[in-house]
A = this chain, B = another copy of it.
């Protein structure tokens, strides 16, 4: 079908090996021959067959990005950063969505055994009951970098934000603004970053002599239908909190939904702060105070780390990059 090295070789009265080397600019080939080959190849519009060379060279030029969803501003910005780095290095990005389903994550990771990708960037699902599939992935020679949602128990490169400290600061911020009774909207499952954020929240409670019983942690899920009643109940209870820390973007916006529904005024009756990367946080009603994660930078850092493991074949498994978030105070905590 297409024009192959073989055809070029035949037409030019050269051996295929010669043509191959010429195209790869090998020192073994004279400048004149290279020129002949280059020009003829260009004239025929020669495109090397990816699969032939991948087969031989045992690399695909693809990297995988595995994440729970893409309709979250954090993840979409992270993809943006990853794609930028990948494109600049001539790599291609494959995107896989787990939708918080361990089963999907397993089968996706399982697929990677066939060499379709040379490396993996990953934000794990929340309910990582078993992570054997990740152990197996890490055990292979394929570089693996976790970003944001890391899997503890796997010795692997990580790119995260300062979850504990950010959450502590956000909580302190609520307290400083006058909130007396707090609540932390956590996420069911067992995510390291969520646990850290939660601990940061609790640290702030202790720092201010607040009781952990009266300032609870509420475990939300990943589906709005579950969370709205949960948050509704929290805000309708007799001990209504007047300060809420959202561990992820979704629960913060869901809190807004409930507050609007219950006619609770933000920030007068309830202050809200949330981890989020929404560009339009400032346009919400009222504008939302956010712990803004460096999503784009985290994506870039993760990808860069991956390529260090990939191209310099360095062992980056002990690398841990922490990029701080910034608290952007807005109306919701005024």
- Hey, which chain B residues are within 8 Å of A71, CB to CB? 73, 76-77, 80, 279
CA distance A97 to B253 in the complex (A): 28
Pick out which of these stretches binds chain B: A27-35, A153-161, A229-237, A284-292.
Answer: A284-292
Pick out which of these stretches binds chain B: A111-119, A126-134, A144-152, A167-175.
Answer: A111-119
- Identical subunits present: 2
- Hey, which chain B residues are within 8 Å of A97, CB to CB? 80, 83-84, 87
**Residue of chain B at shortest CB distance from A65:** B95
**Residue of chain B at shortest CB distance from A93:** B95
Q: How far is the CB of A97 from chain B (nearest CB, A)?
A: 5
Residues of chain A in range 17-63 having any CB-CB distance to chain B below 8 Å: 47-52, 54-55, 58, 60, 62
- 9 further contact pairs, Cβ within 8 A, besides A51-B55, A79-B95, A260-B282: A47-B114, A49-B114, A51-B60, A70-B70, A93-B96, A253-B283, A260-B283, A284-B285, A285-B287
CA distance A97 to B114 in the complex (A): 26
Would you call B285 and A257 a contact (CB within 8 A)? no
CA distance A73 to B76 in the complex (A): 9
State whether the Cβ of A69 lies closer than 8 Å to any Cβ in chain B.
yes
Would you call B62 and A94 a contact (CB within 8 A)? yes
CA distance A257 to B281 in the complex (A): 11
**Residue of chain B at shortest CB distance from A73:** B71
Would you call A83 and B95 a contact (CB within 8 A)? yes
Task: Give the interface centre of A50, A80, A115, A287 by most chain B CB atoms within 10 Å.
Answer: A50
List residues of chain A with CB under 8 Å of any chain B CB.
1, 47-52, 54-55, 58, 60, 62, 69-71, 73, 76-77, 79-80, 83-84, 87, 92-97, 104, 111, 113-116, 253, 256-257, 260, 278-280, 282-287
What are 13 of the A-B contact pairs (CB < 8 Å)?
Answer: A49-B114, A51-B51, A52-B55, A70-B70, A70-B76, A70-B79, A70-B80, A92-B116, A253-B279, A253-B283, A278-B280, A283-B284, A284-B284
Task: State whether A49 and B80 are in contact (beta carbons under 8 Å apart), knowing that A257-B283, A282-B257, A285-B283 are contacts in the complex.
Answer: no
- Hey, which chain B residues are within 8 Å of A95, CB to CB? 79, 83, 93-95
Q: How far is the CB of A24 from chain B (nearest CB, A)?
A: 15
Would you call B116 and A50 a contact (CB within 8 A)? yes
